[in-house]
Amino acid sequence: MKSNNILVINCGSSSIKFSLVDFEAGTHLLTGQAENLGAADGSLKWTGVSSGVKKPGKIGHEEAMREIVSVLRESGCSFVGIGHRVVHGGEHFSQSALVSPKTVEALRAHQHLAPLHNPVNLLGIEAAQAAFPEHPQAMVFDTAFHQSMPRRAYLYPIPYHLFSEHGVRRYGFHGTSHRFVTAKAAETLGRPLEDLALVSAHLGNGCSATAVLGGKSMDTTMGLTPLEGLVMGTRSGDVDPSLHKYLCDTLNLNLDEVSSILNKQSGLLGLSGISNDMRTLLEAEAKGDERAAIAVEVFCYRLAKAIAGLVVGLGRLDALIFTGGIGENSKPVRARTLALLPFLGLHLDEAANEDHGRGDRGIITRGDSPCAMVVATDEELLIARDTARVLAEKS
């Protein structure tokens, strides 16, 4: 019997997440993660049709991939292809692509746009090629969905040659998640995606919101890098562009130090001084912690402001989607954000929100349209489906 399984790989600098997905049934058969790669305590854990933990010690990405091979073999799992999450496809990739010498070359040419992510994504592709030489592979990009943005949304108002000669523009990220949840929302609303004006808010450790009209991204909050836009776990989101110079001049910091502050010590963590984790902050706030309360307040305010701004790119709003760890699970964040948006016609249904919208198609507002809804994201499933499609087109 022909397998419907795709192995989805998400390769980071010190980890490889993997998931074996049946793209027809939409089920995850085995998921796991190799962690602390390059360090003395490298480990591998997995769960699903089988589960377990291995502690091979200091291993690199290729060895980790070989460990993943043996876990899959021992679990009796087969698959027809491999799909890689790739962070940045630049302007070259507006859709998912088969891994070939030509596409790998094009990806290499975009390394400078995502110096922290693309080289490790490539490493994952090479390690998978070495471990599974028989299996075709595809790359699915975080940026590709946003290539439909019009120029008014993707251009920065800076000297034009910085865009035309150096590719400095807004690219947007989380594309697989925004694409997945907007398609799913149309399905649950029972309306064609082509007819809908949607804003999706992906709120996890990284956060971004996107305006989607007729299934196409029209605008999004992340930009050249995933630092722009909303308040995130440790990332600041939007700040005054002069902040870098101000901090360099006044605190005698260098640019790398400022960049590290904005990426790793800001956002929810920076404001609260406690944690980047929304659950922890809500608990601390309930116990009277003022700084945790400030962090949640700024998070919700900036999110609501961004949602209202994104509606400009749509002209109207049919549904607002909450997804990601915070969007799917945090009742107070959804409630407080919606409380700032009554002028969009969004009015919270408290009981439905308490129940995460499980009762009625994910909808957590009163009235028919517009509505706000909770949709669980599944980026691995979308990567698996795209990979299956790319492989089918090839054969």
**In the complex, which residues of this chain contact ligand ADP (CB under 6 A)?**
204-206, 233, 277-279, 282, 324-326, 329-330
Looking up tokens 């799913």 gives 184
| Annotated active-site residue in 142, 219, 378, 386 | 142
SS3 string, 204-251, reads: CCCEEEEEEECCEEEEECCCCCCCCCCCCCCCCCCCCCCHHHHHHHHH
Can you tell me the distance from the alpha carbon of 100 to that of 43, in angstroms, rounded to the nearest whole number? 30
E-strand stretches of the chain = 5-11, 16-22, 27-35, 43-48, 52-54, 81-86, 97-98, 137-141, 197-203, 207-213, 216-220, 319-323, 371-374
Continuous segment of H or E residues that includes residue 256: helix 255-264
Q: Which residue is nearest to ligand ADP (CB)?
A: 325
Q: Which residue, 81 or 223, has its beta carbon nearer to ligand ADP?
A: 223
Q: How far is the CB of 281 from ligand ADP (least distance, A)?
A: 8
Q: How far is the CB of 296 from ligand ADP (least distance, A)?
A: 10
Q: Which residue, 138 or 282, has its beta carbon nearer to ligand ADP?
A: 282
Can you tell me the distance from the alpha carbon of 51 to that of 54, in angstroms, rounded to the nearest whole number? 10
Q: Which residue, 35 or 277, has its beta carbon nearer to ligand ADP?
A: 277
Can you tell me the distance from the alpha carbon of 200 to that of 160, in angstroms, rounded to the nearest whole number? 30
Q: How far is the CB of 279 from ligand ADP (least distance, A)?
A: 4
334 contacts 347 by C-beta, under 8 angstroms:
no
User: Of the candidates 279, 308, 306, 307, which has an alpha carbon nearest to the alpha carbon of residue 292?
Assistant: 279
Active site (annotated) includes residue 142: yes
Q: Which residue, 30 or 282, has its beta carbon nearer to ligand ADP?
A: 282
Q: How far is the CB of 330 from ligand ADP (least distance, A)?
A: 4
* CA dihedral (168, 169, 174, 180) positive or negative: negative
Q: Which residue, 326 or 346, has its beta carbon nearer to ligand ADP?
A: 326
Q: How far is the CB of 362 from ligand ADP (least distance, A)?
A: 16
Residues with catalytic function: 142
